[in-house]
Amino acid sequence: MSKKRVLSGIQTTGNLHLGNYLGAIRNWVDIQQDYDNYFFFADLHAITVPHDPKVLAENTFKLAAVYLACGIDLECSTIFVQSHVSAHSELTWLFNCITPLNWLERMIQFKEKAVKQGENVGVGLLDYPVLMAADILLYDADVVPVGEDQKQHLELTRDIAARVNDKFGKKKQPVLKVPEPMIRKEGARVMSLTDGTKKMSKSDPSELSRIDLLDPPEAIKRKIKKCKTDPVKGLVFDDPERPECHNLLSLYQILGNKTKEEVAVECQDMGWGQFKPLLTETAIAALEPIQNKYNELMSDRNYLDKVLRDGAEKASITANQTLTRVKDSLGFLPPL
């Protein structure tokens, strides 16, 4: 039996933080051997908010190095740049014409991001989930591992697939495969270091709110030293009154590869003064090998270029097959 297919991606905006790593990439790395994987760099998504053309390409390149440094294995995974496979844009247009506008207006991420943009909301921001549906459905993905925040977009993807199948498929021959989300509980929502009720996010104006994957040890130390805590001694999980405490213990648990029970026992009588240096040490040790590998990869541009070239070539073959299938089902005149 052939392996099931996994697909996922991350936007090429700025540096990745612990939320991206623990909520997304680490999970991909953990499961990749059991699947046929496609992981990509969502640069078309990156321009749905105003962007700087001077850093777009470099950000894409850096993200590729991050994926590999985190342990994406090219034996079982194909990595590629979204804009290198033109089928993504083309299928988005086809989906645009069959997606009801009110499905998009309901999207929580759109509403949140639109508020931040004020007057300057591009059509692309509203259309973002349709592009995401195209990303996924082009590869007949079975499983899409993402963080909790992407769940609604996954549901929309399933709705679009079902609608295409319903309107244009034959009973026994659906046009598109309906994918399943895969959301791991652990690490699915890493919270801000300055407010345990808010998600750790690339767009938070305060750098102190997040630990970036490429932060040097000094920065990690400073951020953990300054992070928000509470005046209670004895550290516990799952106390709704102590969101920061839960978040920091969870980080310690995941980064240190411990079980929740181990950490609960270890920290039950601790104060913050004792816990913070432990967390700092654990975070630095967990990120060090990734950072070393990243620096090595970034110094070999030719290697990364080749990986991305091969990835785009392979991805295009699969994507174009699906695109042709959709166009056929919609009734287009095939190229003559």
Residue numbers at the binding site for ligand TRP (CB under 6 A): 7-11, 42, 45, 132, 135-136, 144, 146, 150
User: Cβ 8 to ligand AMP, closest distance in Å?
Assistant: 7
Which of ligand AMP, ligand TRP, none does 47 bind, CB closer than 5 to 8 A by kind?
Answer: none
Which of ligand AMP, ligand TRP, none does 200 bind, CB closer than 5 to 8 A by kind?
Answer: ligand AMP
Site residues for ligand AMP, window 13-52 (CB under 6 A)?
19-20, 23-24
Which of ligand AMP, ligand TRP, none does 190 bind, CB closer than 5 to 8 A by kind?
Answer: ligand AMP
State the Cα angle at 322 between 331 and 1, rounded to 5°. 135
Select from 47-55, 61-69, 144-152, 260-268 the region that touches ligand AMP (CB under 6 A): 144-152
Residues 6+ apart with CB under 8 A from 170: none
User: Cβ 124 to ligand TRP, closest distance in Å?
Assistant: 13
Distance CA 279, CA 277 (A): 5
**Is residue 11 at the binding interface for ligand AMP, with CB under 6 A as the rule?**
yes
Distance CA 205, CA 219 (A): 16
Distance CA 50, CA 52 (A): 7
* Residue type at position 25: I
**Is residue 202 at the binding interface for ligand AMP, with CB under 6 A as the rule?**
yes
Q: Count residues contacting ligand AMP (CB under 6 A)?
A: 16
Query: In 10 A of CB 18, how many CB atoms?
Result: 24
Within its chain, how far is the Cα of 275 from the centroid? 29
Q: Which residues of 222-256 are buried (b: 16+ CB within 10 A; e: fewer)?
A: ebbeebbbeeeeebebeeeebbbbbbbbbbbbbbb
Which of ligand AMP, ligand TRP, none does 136 bind, CB closer than 5 to 8 A by kind?
Answer: ligand TRP
